[in-house]
Amino acid sequence: MALTDVAVLLVDDDPVFRQLVTDYLISQQATVFQAASGHQGLELFEKKQIDVVVADLSMPGLGGLNMLKQLIEMDPSIPAIVISGHSVMADVVEALRIGASDYLIKPIPDLFIIGQAIEQAIEDAVNQSANANLQSSEESALQTMLESEMGPLNQLSYQELNDNLHLLEQSALAAKSVQQQLFPASNVDYPLAEINYSLFKNDDISAYFIDSTMVGDKHLICYMAHFHPEDNSAAFGCVLLRSFVNQKLKLYRNGLSTTLIEPFNMLSYLNERMVKSGLHMQVDVSYICIELTQYRVAIGQAGNGLRCYLRNHMGLAPIALPESKPLGSEHWQKPSTQFRSLMPGESLCIATQDQQHQAMLLDDEFVGLVFRENIASGGFMELKAK
C-alpha cells in the first residue's frame, strides 16, 4: 500500500466510521482531513492541498453528491471515491457520471478496500494527467494502454456491483427501489434538445431502460434497452449498462476517447463488456448520438426488439436498419448503423413495435415509468431538437 504523504479529505457524518477510517489511513502513512458535512468538506478543500476525496453520499444538509459536483467544478481532475448504502444506487451512478473515480458500498467489510481504492484512483489520475500532454499521434496507442490499465478500477467497480446482484435477484423490493431511482422524469430538458418518454411495466421491475446525457457541449447521446431475461436481474442490468456508459463518458471528458459518440464502436464495446461480465444477459439496444450544431445523427442498433423511427408531421417512418443480434450474444458480430441529418420539424424516436405504444407516442402521452396492467410492457422515447 503506497499512501505515504497522500492527503485524503474524508467527508462522512458518522463520527465512529470517520474515525475508524482515519485511524486506518494514518496507519498507512496518509494525511487525513476530516469533515462531518458537505459544507465542511468544501471549506477544507479550499484551504488544504488535497490529493483524493472520500465522501459519503448520504449526509444531511449539503449531501455528498452536491458537494462532489462543486468540488469537481473547482478541480475537475480531483480523484473522488464515494461511499453509499444500497438504497441510493441512483446517486452512485450520478456520481460516476459527473466524474467520481469509484464507489464503495456500506457496510465495508475490510478497511483495506478503502486504501486500495484510494491508491487506484490516484494512480489513474496520474496516468490521465500525464497522458493529456502527449501528441495526437501517440494518443491512440495510449488510449488502448490506459483502458487496459483501468482494468483493476473496472473490476473493483464491477465487484461492488456483483456483490449486489444476489440481493437484487432475491429481493423484488430492493430491485424495484434501485431501478426507480435510475429513471428520470418523463421530460429531460437539455440546452438544445429534450427527451420525452413513456415506459410501461406490468410487474415490479421493468425489463426496459432509457438513459441520456450531454457529451461535451455539442453532442447528446440517448439509448433505450430491453433486457433478457425479464426478471429482477433487469434492475442490475440497468445499473451495469449505465456504469459502462459512465466509464466512456469519463474518458471522453479527459480527451482520451470518442467512443461514446460513435454508436458502432460504443455498441461493440458494450457487447464486449456484457459478454465478459459472465451474467448470461442479452440486451436489445437502440443508441443515438446527435451533433447539436448541424443536427447530424448517428444511429446504432443491436437486437430486433426495439426500432428507431423518424417523426414528422406525416407521422412515424421506420428507419431501415439491418438485423443484428442482441448484446451479450455468443456469436455477436457487429451492430447496425445509419447516419442522417435531422431536418426542421423532425424528431427521432425509439419504440417497441406494439401498435398501442406507437399510437400513444403520436398522441404525445409521455408519462415516464409507470405500472399499467392493461398496457403491454415496453414503450417509447423521443429526442427532439429545439
Nearest-angstrom CA–CA distance, 313 and 311: 7
User: Could you read off the pLDDT of 316-347 as tens digits, one per residue?
Assistant: 999 988 889 999 987 888 888 999 999 989 99
pLDDT (tens digit per residue) in 145-193: 333 333 333 443 444 455 555 555 556 666 677 677 778 889 999 988 9
How far is it, in rounded angstroms, from Cα 252 to Cα 260?
7
* Arithmetic mean of pLDDT, 129-158: 40
* Alpha-carbon span 316 to 362, nearest angstrom: 8
- Mean pLDDT value of segment 243-250: 83
3-state secondary structure of 326: coil
Average pLDDT, the chain: 84
Closest by CA position to 167, among listed 282, 280, 85, 56: 85
> Mean pLDDT throughout 237-241?
83
pLDDT digits (tens, 9 = 90+) for 15-60: 999 999 999 999 999 999 999 999 999 999 999 999 999 999 888 8
All CATH 3.60.40.10 domain ranges of the chain, comma separated, are 183-385
7-127: CATH architecture: 3-Layer(aba) Sandwich (3.40)
CA-derived radius of gyration, the chain: 21
Q: Which residue has the higher pLDDT, 159 or 273?
A: 273
- CA 197 and chain centroid, separation: 18
* Beta-bridge partners for 211: 223
Cell triple for residue 266?
460504443
Q: Which amino acid is at 223?
A: Y
Cell of 88: 441510493
Fold of 183-385: Phosphatase 2c; domain 1 (3.60.40)
Our measurement of the distance from residue 7's CA atom to the centroid of its chain's CA atoms, rounded to an integer in Å, reads: 28
d(C-alpha 283, C-alpha 271), whole Å: 9
Element housing 336 (H / E):
strand 336-341
Query: How far, in Å, are 12, 233, 245 from residue 97 at the CA level?
Result: 21, 22, 8
Cell numbers given for 86: 444500497
Cα–Cα nearest to 260, from 305, 227, 304, 214: 214
What's the pLDDT score for residue 191? 85
State the burial class of residue 339 (Cβ atoms within 10 Å of its Cβ: 0-12, 13-18, 19+).
exposed
Q: What is the DSSP string of 122-187?
A: HHHHHHHHHHTTS-HHHHHHHHHHHHHHTHHHHHHHHHHHHHHHHHHHH-HHHHHHHHHHH---SE
For residue 136, pLDDT over 50 is answered with no
**Residue ranges matching CATH 3.40.50.2300 in the chain:** 7-127
187 vs 231, more confident: 187
- What the block records as the C-alpha cell of 101 is 473515480
Per-residue buried b or exposed e for 288-327, using 16+ beta carbons within 10 Å of the residue's own CB? bbbbbeebebbbbbbbebbbbbbbeeeebeebebeebbbb
Three-state DSSP at 299 gives strand
Average the pLDDT over 106-111 and give the result. Answer: 83
- For residue 377, the 8-state DSSP code is S
The predicted structure's pLDDT at residue 137: 38
The candidate with the shortest Cα–Cα distance to 127, out of 80, 54, 77, is 77
What's the confidence (pLDDT) of residue 125?
A: 75
**52-56, 139-143, 191-195, 221-225: lowest mean pLDDT where?**
139-143
Dihedral sign (CA 60, 65, 69, 75): positive
Angle at which helix 38-47 crosses helix 64-74, to 10 degrees, equals: 20
Identify the CA nearest to 225 among candidates 203, 207, 247, 249. 207
Mean pLDDT comparison of 81-90, 95-104, 175-184, 289-298, highest-scoring range: 289-298
Q: How confident is the model at residue 152, as a pLDDT?
A: 35
Q: Note if the bond before 107 is cis, omega within 30 degrees.
A: yes
CB of 316 within 8 A of CB of 355? no
Of 92, 94, 24, give the one whose Cα is nearest residue 56.
92
